Homo-oligomer: A and B are copies of this chain.
Amino acid sequence: MLYPNKIKKENKHVPVSHANRGMDLEKLINDANSYYLNNDIAVIYKKPTPIAISMVDYSKSNPEVKGLFNQKSTLDYVGLYKGKYLDFDAKKTLNKTSFPLSNIHYHQLKHIERIINHQGIAFLIIEMNNKVYILKGETLLEFINQDQRKSIPYSYIEENGYIVNFKYNPILDYLEVLEKIYFKEGALWKK
């Protein structure tokens, strides 16, 4: 990430962007998950980073591990809310007009499709233009199947996604939005 101050020093004419300052989407989600766990609302956690372990040094009391990053085959978060299986990823783009689909790997799309087929809830939490949206897995797959485009226009996300407004505690109460999308009968269900 480029820090505005550093850019300033190197090139005075580069506009200072606030887009990449302050909000840390992953931290907000983790904070919300802690809140949900501590208040017995849901059990949602980040999956550990998969590492292919090549060496373990057992000479130490707490063995040291060496390895390589493994490609993730699923999404970052998994959880349970009101008996429903949740599986989702957090994605951020600094692009203001469209969300590049290169952010999502083929095997992740496949995973989303499987989760939906087996009656789970799959979605993305997208940070874009300093706003946070929930985009249903169904909506994402529909867009990709219809338009063979390389990115999703921001207007599409604005129209078909659901905005997550910031509040006091947790700041990013995305379950409140999921509740409206998936759990309130009739409300915002779009199958």
Contacts and interface: CB of A to CB of B under 8 A. Distances in A.
Interface in A78-111: 78, 80-85, 87, 111
Q: Interface size for chain A: under 10, 10 to 19, 20 to 34, or 35 or more residues? A: 35 or more
Q: How many copies does the complex hold?
A: 2
Contact of A83 (B50, B63, B81, B85): B85
A164 to B, nearest CB: 21
A51 to B, nearest CB: 5
Contacts of A111: 43
A24 interface: no
Nearest to A83: B119
B81 A118 contact: yes
B83 A43 contact: no
Contacts of A62: 68-69
Contacts of A40: 114, 117
A120 B120 CA distance: 12
Given A80-B115, A85-B85, A118-B82, A67 B68 contact: no
A73 B37 CA distance: 13
Interface of A: 37, 40, 42-43, 45, 47-51, 53, 62-70, 73-74, 78, 80-85, 87, 111, 114-115, 117-120
15 contacts: A43-B115, A45-B73, A47-B48, A48-B49, A48-B50, A49-B51, A51-B53, A51-B67, A65-B67, A80-B118, A82-B119, A83-B85, A83-B118, A83-B120, A85-B120
